[in-house]
């Protein structure tokens, strides 16, 4: 057999296997794009605090803090989903800061008790290590900007089985 034919056949087989592996590990349905805008690591602990005086709230004001132990990875992504898309049930090994972009339709966010929260364009929220699923039911789709704060080297998400409350419903998808 011609060496060229063997090399081409081997290359095609390798691509097919790689495609199957990638396809079986793709955790979401309806993902339009998932652009990784930036990835960075802070090698030490983080202990950042802020306090701002807010007019009309001089005594209380506004405050925030971020504290970590050990090296931390930051990932910033720009992600879009089509109508009917779902993240499937998953958790995160860290904290996420999310915003639905101005061009986004609303999304349905489900917690581990299958309780729904609706977020719309311009809404921001946080996610932690709790089990959840996101369903995109609006024809406009959904467009997220997300910053992940993770222990160094951890994945951005961990796929999970649906909770008991999802069994027999449209949320019953691993």
- The string of pLDDT tens digits covering residues 129-172 is 999 999 999 999 999 999 999 999 999 999 999 999 999 999 98
Domains for the chain: give ranges and CATH numbers. 30-166 (2.60.120.10)
Least confident of 17-26, 71-80, 81-90: 17-26
Residue 116 φ then ψ, to 5°: -95, 135
- Mean pLDDT across the stretch 38-46? 97
- pLDDT score recorded for residue 117: 98
Distance (Å, whole) CA 12 – CA 19: 10
Q: pLDDT (tens digit, 9 = 90+) per residue, 104-130?
A: 999 999 999 999 999 999 999 999 999
- pLDDT score recorded for residue 3: 57
Yes or no: say if 144 and 87 are a contact pair by the CB < 8 Å rule: no
- pLDDT score recorded for residue 20: 36
- pLDDT score recorded for residue 39: 98
- pLDDT score recorded for residue 2: 59
Whether the per-residue pLDDT at 56 is higher than 50: the answer is yes
- pLDDT score recorded for residue 1: 56
Q: pLDDT (tens digit, 9 = 90+) per residue, 78-109?
A: 999 999 999 999 999 999 999 999 999 999 99
Query: Model pTM?
Result: 0.80
Distance (Å, whole) CA 163 – CA 132: 9
The two beta strands, 158-159 and 124-127, are unpaired
């Amino acid at each position: 057999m011609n060496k060229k034919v063997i090399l081409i056949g081997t290359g095609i087989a390798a691509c097919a296997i790689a495609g199957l592996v990638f396809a079986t590990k793709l955790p979401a349905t309806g993902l339009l794009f998932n652009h990784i805008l930036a990835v960075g690591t802070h090698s030490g602990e983080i202990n950042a605090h802020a306090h701002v005086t807010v007019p009309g709230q001089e005594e209380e004001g506004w405050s925030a803090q971020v504290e970590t132990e050990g090296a931390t990875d930051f990932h910033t992504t720009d992600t879009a989903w089509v109508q009917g898309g779902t993240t499937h049930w998953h958790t995160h090994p860290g904290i996420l800061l999310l915003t639905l972009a101005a061009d986004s339709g609303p999304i349905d966010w489900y917690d581990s008790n299958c309780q729904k929260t609706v977020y719309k364009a311009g809404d921001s929220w946080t996610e932690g290590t709790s089990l959840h699923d996101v369903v995109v039911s609006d024809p406009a789709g959904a467009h997220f900007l997300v910053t992940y704060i993770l222990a160094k080297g951890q994945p951005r998400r961990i796929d999970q089985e649906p909770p008991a409350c999802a069994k027999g419903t449209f949320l019953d998808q691993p």
